[in-house]
Structures are given as C-alpha cells and as structure tokens.
Structure 1
Amino acid sequence: MKAPRYDTEGLASVLPSVARTLAPAAFEGEGRKLPQAKAGIVVLADGLGARLLRKRSAHAPFLHEHLDHVQTLAAGFPTTTATSMGTFGTGLPPGAHGLAGYQVVDPATGMLFNELTWQRGPEPRVWQPNATVFERADQADLRPAMIGPDYFEGSGLTNAALRGAVFYGAEALEDRIDAALAAVRRGRRLVYLYWGEIDKAGHVHGIDSPQWAAELEAFDRGFERLASQRPVGTSLTLTADHGMVDVPLDARVDIAKTPYLRDGVRTVGGEMRALHLYVEPGARDDVLAAWRKEVGSDGHVLTRDELSDLGWVGALDAGTAGRFGDVVVSMRAARGYVDSRVMSHQVLALVGQHGAMTPQELDVPFLHLPPR
C-alpha cells in the first residue's frame, strides 16, 4: 500500500519548492531544488489526480505533450480538499496543521463542523496557528497573490491554510488566467491560481463521464495559454489536491440505518471513504472490532495512535490529536459509508468520491515548467 508523503515526494513540498526558486536564502534547503526564476505561477487543479491525468490525457493535448515530465507526488491523509489545502499551504503534515478532514469534531466544543465551508467553525488562525508558506513568502518580499472564486476571500479555510497572499477574485478560468498574468506583471512574484471545475464534474457526473473530459479539455487550453503568455523569467507549476474514484450508489452503507456500526459511536466525521469515528468513553475497542469485521480486506480500520505511528498524518500533538477520530476508516474497495444524520442529500448523491489511501486518490501530479 502506498503511504502519504510529507517530504520532497509529497504535496507539502510544492509551494516551498517554488518559493525557493524565487528566494533561495529564505527557503534554503526546503522542497525540491528547481531552476531559479524571477516569478512563479502555481496552479492547483482540484481533483486532477495523477492517474486520472494519465488515463485521460487524450483530452489534454498540451499536458499530454509534457506527460513524460509529469512527476507523481503523494497527497496526505485524508485525500480531501480541506486537509490537502492545509498541507499545500503550510508545507506541514496534517498532524501539525490540524486540518483533519471534511467534517471534524472541535474538541473544545464537541461539535462537528465542516472544514471546507467552515460554518460554525472556530477562529481559523487559532485552529491553524502555524505560519503559512504565503506568510513566509511575504516576509521574503515575494508579494504573493492568490486567485480564486470570490467566496474564497476571507473564508475560514483560506485564513487557516492560505493566509498571507493578496486575494484577487475571478470566476471564469480565462479571467483567472488574466488575473494571474496581470499579478506577475504588477510585481507579484509568487502567484497561486485555484481551479475547481474538474473536481465538481467528477463529483456530480463521475470520472469517466463526458462532462469530466470536457472540463479537462477546457483546463488544458487555459493552462497552455498560461504557459505561452507568462512573462519572461516566470515558471509555471501544476499540481492537485487529490484524485478521485467512482462509488456506485448500491455500494454505500448508511450508518444511521445500521445499528451495529453506530453502537458506541458518538459522532461520525470525515467523509464516505475516510471516516473519523468519535466514540463514547470506553467504547473504542468494541467499535474497532465491529468496524474491522465489517470492512475486512476492503479497507483499513485504525486507532488514532496507529494512524500516527504509520506516518499517515505525521506526529500528533495535544493541540491536534482530538480532531482525528478515535477510530479511523480508509477504504480500498469502491465502497463507502455514509451517515444520513450528518451528511446532506447533495453529498449523499455524489458519484465521484475521495478521501481514502488508494493510489487513484493519493497520487497527484507535479509538472514544473522552468522560466522561458
């Protein structure tokens, strides 16, 4: 089984590697050693797993031309956007940055909240107090900029994982590309562009759908334009936060309707393929045994300590440990577990899923085009 990586072979290394090309002294010894540049644009394509890109590269002619130079990095666990953004934005493993999953319990309140939407969530800078790469880049006079949809500005996840960059809001891909190019021309040396439509198409229609292919084609055209129009001296880097698999509707078990799976479980967090089970006092061993019997060889069922000991989330400390489930489930087969008590109807209906430790979900691409 592949494991997450938080070194130069992991998603955590992407921003420090690019920042090092721009400010070698400030980021000395961090990330990968890449050719120096005057500026760098980093594009994160949500949901564009490395294996998906290779499988469907016929729909991405520009990226297909560079496929031999696309390397594979490992995202962290769980392979979900909130956690990966924490890893990407801080360069730290989840055990350190503490963004533990899609839905997690705040140990201070005992309440479940969504780290993606951040509704009723804690103060982001308290929840994630570590310096971000953008904060460090700003101190190194790289004048970082972030480009994404307007609702990202000031959001909880942005403030927790990506603070420190000047925000430019733009909706359409072409507008985001224009904003990225303009930012570099205005002296913003480290520019980050987020694109989420590939992920949305996979969730709604599935990864083998024509809608998914159409979104990849549109992204490929936009990425090619960025590559051709970037100012001289500017590098361009592509990565993603996770991949995706399809989970048939008939391969899902509702915990709310399955008494033996909810016995001893106080709250279900995480998501369909990567569950955090927060248990009642004294019930951990019984919950662990029941879930191991249920999941069998189709996944992994671990205690919180085993999760850390295996290196899946890095070292846990007192400030982050309670955010991870007492029992954690990661699926291998194309199956999932839902809880209709805490998951919305929209989430329950999604076709494409991620979160687990399969290579299809864990592997993300890394393509670095050096300055022209």
Structure 2
Amino acid sequence: MSQVRSAASGLRRVLPTVATSLGVPGLWRSGDPRLAPACRAVVVLIDGLGATLLARRGGHAPFLRRLMKAEAATTIGCGFPSTTATSMGTFGTGLDAGSHGLVGYEAYDPQADAVFNELSWEDGPDPLTWQPSRTVFESTAAAGITAVRIGPAFFDGSGLTQAALRGGRFIAASSLPDRVDEAIAAIEANPRALIYLYWGDLDKVGHVFGCQSWQWGDELERIDAELARLARRLPADTALHITADHGMVDVPLHARLDLGEDPELASGVRHVAGEPRSPQLHCEPGAVPDVIATWRERLGRDAIVLTREEAIAAGWFGKVRDEVRPRIGDVVTAMVGPTAVTDSRRHRPELLALIGLHGSITDEEVEIPWLIRPAGAASQ
C-alpha cells in the first residue's frame, strides 16, 4: 500500500462538468476541453471500482479496458475519507467533504452528541439541514433538463439520497440489467437528459470476499458486459461517463486492532466515528494530546495520526464550513499500512468480519477512474 500525495477530490468535478456539457449554467467555471457539448448523458457510478483494481483486474473487463485506453480516460481522486457516504456528497453537490458536511461512514452529530451512520441515516439529523447546498440534479432540473436517478428502491427518499443526491426523478430497479434497461428507456424518452445509474454489488463482493478474490472478478465481468450493452444502445448524441466512489484494499483479520479489547487505545476516546481504515476520534475534555501520543506510538508507520486542525490545514476535507468543523474528529487517522482499527463494542460481527476495506488515503483507496465515451463516438 502507498500513500497519496494529496487527499484532493477530482470526483467533485464529474457531475458538474457533465451537467455543464448539457447546458446547465453556473456549475463549473471552466469546462473540460475533452467534453464536447451533448444533448444527453448517462453517468454510471460503480461502487468500489478503484482505478488500481480496474487496472489490475482489467482482463475481466474488455469494454472498460478499451475505455481506459481512450484519450478522454483519466484517473481522479475521490477525496477523504474514501467512503461511500462522503463520496456521494462530493459527487452529488460538486463540493468537498468540508463543505457538504458528510464527513464519514459514521459521523458525529454535535447537537445530538451522538454518532450516526450516514449510509443508513438511522436516528440521523434532518438531511436538508445537514447538507443544505443545492445538488447538481436540482440545478439540472431547474435548467429544464430531465434528471433521472436509477438505483435500488430503498434509496428513494433515504436520508443520504435527500442530503447528497436530491433532485429530478427517481426510478427503482433491482438488477443491473433492469437498471440499464431503465437508463435506455429514459434516454429514449427525453431529448435532453442527465441519467444517473448506481450499482453497488462490486463493493459488497469486495467487502465480503476481498477485492483480490475470484468473486470480485466475476462481478466485474457481469458489470462490464452490461455497460457494453448500455453503450451499444445509446443514441449518437448521448455521452457515457463511468466512475466510482472509492477503491478498496484487503486487510487480514489478524492485522487489526480492536478498541473493545485494547483499553490503552480506547483511553480518552469518547466517541469513535469514521470507519476502520480512518477512525475519527472525539475525545474526552483535555485528552487529545494523550490520545494523539498513544495512537502515534501504537500505530507507528502504519498510520498518519493528526489533530482536527492539522487534518484541515493539510486539506484533507477541503474548505471546511464552521458548522462542519465539530463533526470532524478531534483526532483524525488514516491507515497507510495493511491494518485497521475496529471497535467490537459497537460494530456488528458482520462488519468486523469484512475483508475488503476502504476509507483512508492510499492510492488503492482514493484513486478512481473517470471513463468517457463522448457523444458522437461510434458504438463499442
């Protein structure tokens, strides 16, 4: 595993740039010269499709491999932390985490003095208050362009969707072939449209079996075949964009530390947010110096351990709004070695058993592809 030089996010450019190419005003100051204007666009986000993983396992994905070699293909960063909830906020708003405020898989709510899960949003705050900025889908719909979001039914109206991806119309579909069919139908029915399609099973397979597993390769093959079918069916005036929310690394179970069985590491920590590859620690009053010293000593070269102020100054969260600052841990950690820190006092056994993890700032976790088949390109 290797540390990246910057936690800056390129993911925040994707949706605003695509919407700008469709004629939505005021989203991105300078358009990407690779993107010609289009009447319609489909943006596919494959959860967990890291750029390093795609390059390594490209033999399972002939269609994506061809797109990787195209002039418009690029590798971008998803930002920090490299986790779905944060990346969805970044993708949907065009803002970094410090501005949109979805700062982790689990986040601290200062008003409730409690940690909640930003994926499930169970017992979470009002999502429109938590993330008040206008989304790209809202801007697209306001410009008179059809905005359609396609995903699993439980996403419709969920807290995360309301916070990060609200705007336009939602279509529920279960299987990937069904979602591809819905995307094709939405494109054919609308002369000007932005269609967003989400698929999450690659991430699930990576978590359970590991991103180096044969199961991960098989799932990538299924995804590749469906995306190739989607590309063949799109009209000539429609661009196709494929990206991801984060990558992944496999972390052996024996290489992890457990706060539930390690009183030294747990000492002075009041709340644990974030996730095993990037815990954010909210400390007891006056305990930050001791917590910093203990975590730095115990984790050594396997982790970067910063105060909140140091992490913000380093640009890990981008520009941070005042109301977002206390959501970030007093201590922010990022694993750069093959390890993780779990908490068996809080985490379900299913979470503790996951092999594939993400959330930190290594290349494998942060770097994601942005693959483009521009409008006017020949069907592939």
State TM-score, norm by structure 1: 0.97
Q: 1:242 to 1:36 in 2, by over 3 A?
A: same
Cα deviation digits, residues 119-161 of structure 1 (max 9, x gap): 0000100000011111111111112110000000000000000
Cα deviation digits, residues 86-108 of structure 1 (max 9, x gap): 00000000000000101111000
Structure 1 residue 27 displacement after superposition? 3.6
- State how 1:266-305 maps to structure 2 within 5 Å: 266-305=270-309
Matched position secondary structure for 2:146: coil
Matched position secondary structure for 2:69: helix
State the aligned residue count.
Answer: 369
Structure 1 residue 30 displacement after superposition? 4.7
Structure 1 residue 24 displacement after superposition? 5.4
Q: Which residue of 2 aligns with 1:261?
A: 265
Matching of residue 249 in structure 1 with residue 229 in structure 2? no
2:17–2:28: 8 Å Cα contact kept in structure 1? no
Q: Which residue of 2 aligns with 1:82?
A: 85
Matched position secondary structure for 1:316: coil
1:20–1:30: 8 Å Cα contact kept in structure 2? no
Q: 1:31 to 1:109 in 2, by over 3 A?
A: farther
Q: d(CA) in 2 for partners of 1:88 and 1:295?
A: 32
Cα deviation digits, residues 52-98 of structure 1 (max 9, x gap): 00000000011112222331000110000000000000000000000
Structure 1 residue 2 displacement after superposition? 2.5
Structure 1 residue 350 displacement after superposition? 0.5
Matched position secondary structure for 1:341: coil
Q: d(CA) in 2 for partners of 1:281 and 1:304?
A: 14
Q: d(CA) in 2 for partners of 1:25 and 1:80?
A: 29
2:24–2:139: 8 Å Cα contact kept in structure 1? no
Structure 1 residue 299 displacement after superposition? 1.3
2:22–2:39: 8 Å Cα contact kept in structure 1? yes
- State how 1:56-205 maps to structure 2 within 5 Å: 56-69=57-70, 70-187=73-190, 189-205=193-209
| 1:330 alignment partner AA | A
Cα deviation digits, residues 267-320 of structure 1 (max 9, x gap): 111111010100001111111111111111111001111111111101222210
Q: 1:371 to 1:58 in 2, by over 3 A?
A: same
| 2:293 alignment partner AA | A
Structure 1 residue 229 displacement after superposition? 0.3
Structure 1 residue 341 displacement after superposition? 1.3
The equivalent position to 1:312 in structure 2, one of 304, 311, 316, is 316
Q: d(CA) in 2 for partners of 1:267 and 1:153?
A: 30
The equivalent position to 1:356 in structure 2, one of 354, 360, 373, is 360
Unaligned runs of 5+ in 1: none
Cα deviation digits, residues 320-353 of structure 1 (max 9, x gap): 0111100011000110000011211111010000
| 1:58 alignment partner AA | G
Q: d(CA) in 2 for partners of 1:108 and 1:297?
A: 35
- State how 1:204-219 maps to structure 2 within 5 Å: 204-219=208-223
Q: d(CA) in 2 for partners of 1:66 and 1:122?
A: 40
Q: Which residue of 2 aligns with 1:338?
A: 342
Q: d(CA) in 2 for partners of 1:180 and 1:204?
A: 29
Q: d(CA) in 1 for partners of 2:98 and 2:319?
A: 5
Structure 1 residue 165 displacement after superposition? 2.4
Q: Which residue of 1 aligns with 2:12?
A: 12
| 2:46 alignment partner AA | A
Q: d(CA) in 1 for partners of 2:223 and 2:281?
A: 37
Q: d(CA) in 2 for partners of 1:359 and 1:270?
A: 19
Q: 1:206 to 1:118 in 2, by over 3 A?
A: same
- State how 1:13-32 maps to structure 2 within 5 Å: 13-23=13-23, 25-27=25-27, 29-30=29-30, 32=32
Matched position secondary structure for 1:76: coil
Q: d(CA) in 1 for partners of 2:115 and 2:253?
A: 25
| 2:97 alignment partner AA | P
Q: Which residue of 1 aligns with 2:55?
A: 54
